[in-house]
Amino acid sequence: MSAQATPDPYSDPLAFGQRLQILRTRRGVTRETLGGLMGRSGSWVKALETGRLKTPKLDVILRLAEVLRVRDLSDLTGDQAVSVPLFAGPGHARLGAVRDAVDTLMLVPDREAPPTSHLAARLARAWAARHASPNHREVVGALLPELIRDAQLAVRQAGAAPDRRAAQAVLSEVYSLAQFFIAYQPDAALLWRVAERGMVAAQESEDPHTVGVAAWLSAQAHRDAGPAHFDAADSVTSAVLSYLTPLLSDADDDVIAITGALTFEAGYTAARRAATGTAWRYWDEARAMAARLPSEYFHPVTSFGRAVMGAHAVTVAVELRQGGESVRQAAASDTLSIPSRPRWARHRIEEARGYQMDGQPDVALDTLARAHEAAPETIQYNGYAKTIILEEAESKSAARRRRASALAVKVGLLAA
């Protein structure tokens, strides 16, 4: 290595402070800026980097890693034994209770399970509450532990085969609701346990719609795990689409909708692969399925329906890194007809990504502010939104820095 070469923070041995300095420098962040983002001073950052301060506690390390957009905790600590994917956000206060409910085995039932019809009604109310609430994780997190335990109990106590299949269908959808809560939380292992259990219960139910929902969430989990998992995502969508497609001639709206949602998922993964033609082809096919549904139809799990196709077009364009096209699709989309606060907020985040790609950072910040008004918990746990806010908090424009910093305080990225 030449004297001018930049050290590699991923090669051992390097002290924590050295890794911090290298990663901060590569991000182009000054000590003063990093200190401000941490609610500290530039001299505090210098003391960490030079070793005058000892390695901080885990919560501070996690915060540093998030601010610097480090993808894995070991990249900052140098300890491969503590490899933890980041940008999952801080754990929700109710995560522990949900995890305990998932992990508890109902081997010796201590009470009688509620009827499956009762569980299904509770589940429907939980989905409705999620779509209506700005703080949807808080609402869902409060309902999930008992729903999970009761659904597990219903499967355990089911007698006849039809009753057991019905109970498995409800349990699978409860796991689907749980997956929405666990997504972007700092527990990847829990996410995979829930996704896999949901898929197993769905297959046991032998219900096409239930299988489709579990596959939709499984494909998302694989896709969001990174490029190494794209093939697995495609395998799931392809297999279940092959299973559902022959049923469409006599299918009800829910089966048509989940088939359309899975078709779009195939396009979403194609966009992540930068396969432009394939991505838009799947979007066209999904739009054709949406057109078969009533105009007011809205799938409670996937949000699929006519209203969401404009939002899906924005997502495809953003994933293909087509800034101008994403802005054009955003202008054409009818966001007011999306009857879900978290889904509407997620769409706004996708729009903001497009505006930033298109060189319109002020519009991107305005769009994120509207997303925060609609559903604060959606933006709080979204890595794309936080990345935009942190980048604009370092803008050369003083006015933009102030606006981004104010939004960062609201989201919880900066201390007030």
Q: What is the pLDDT of residues 165-175, one digit of tens each?
A: 999 999 999 99
| 296, pLDDT greater than 80 | yes
Query: Does the residue 298 lie in any domain?
Result: no
Average pLDDT over residues 239-267: 97
**How many domains does the chain fold into?**
1
- List Cβ<8 Å contacts ≥24 apart for 261-265: 261/212, 261/216, 261/286, 261/299, 261/302, 261/304, 262/212, 262/215, 262/216, 262/219, 262/237, 263/237, 263/289, 264/304, 264/312, 265/216, 265/219, 265/220, 265/223, 265/233, 265/237
Query: Does the residue 323 lie in any domain?
Result: no
**Bigger pLDDT: 248 vs 56:** 248
Question: Would you give the DSSP letter of residue 206?
Answer: T
> What is the pLDDT at residue 268?
97
pTM attached to this predicted model: 0.79
Per-residue pLDDT reduced to its tens digit, 262-294: 999 999 999 999 999 999 999 999 999 999 999
Of 7, 30, 32, 16, give the one whose Cα is nearest residue 74: 16
Query: Helix H segments across 158-275?
Result: 161-182, 188-205, 208-224, 230-244, 253-272
Query: Does the residue 364 lie in any domain?
Result: no
> What is the pLDDT at residue 11?
44
| 89, pLDDT greater than 90 | no
Q: What percent of the chain has pLDDT over 90?
A: 66
Domain with residue 76: its CATH number is: 1.10.260.40
> What is the pLDDT at residue 290?
97
Per-residue pLDDT reduced to its tens digit, 103-142: 988 777 778 999 999 999 999 999 999 999 999 999 999 9
Lowest mean pLDDT among 80-84, 139-143, 219-223: 80-84
**Range(s) of the domain holding residue 78:** 16-82
> What is the pLDDT at residue 335?
67
**Neighbouring-strand partners of residue 85:** 72
Residues in CB range of 100: below 8 A, 6 or more apart: 145
Going by pLDDT thresholds of 50, 70 and 90, the confidence category of residue 90 is: low
| Three-state DSSP state, 38 | coil
Rg, the chain, Cα only: 23
Query: Does the residue 346 lie in any domain?
Result: no
Going by pLDDT thresholds of 50, 70 and 90, the confidence category of residue 246 is: very high
Say if residues 213 and 262 touch (Cβ distance below 8 Å). no
| 84, pLDDT greater than 50 | no
Residues in CB range of 411: below 8 A, 6 or more apart: 372, 376, 379, 380, 385, 386, 389
Cα separation, 369 vs 349, in Å, equals 9
Query: Does the residue 78 lie in any domain?
Result: yes
> What is the pLDDT at residue 79?
62
Query: Does the residue 103 lie in any domain?
Result: no
> What is the pLDDT at residue 121?
97
Residues in CB range of 369: below 8 A, 6 or more apart: 407
User: Chain-wide mean pLDDT for the chain?
Assistant: 89
Lowest mean pLDDT among 11-25, 312-326, 344-358: 11-25
Query: Does the residue 21 lie in any domain?
Result: yes
Query: Does the residue 40 lie in any domain?
Result: yes
Cα separation, 319 vs 326, in Å, equals 9
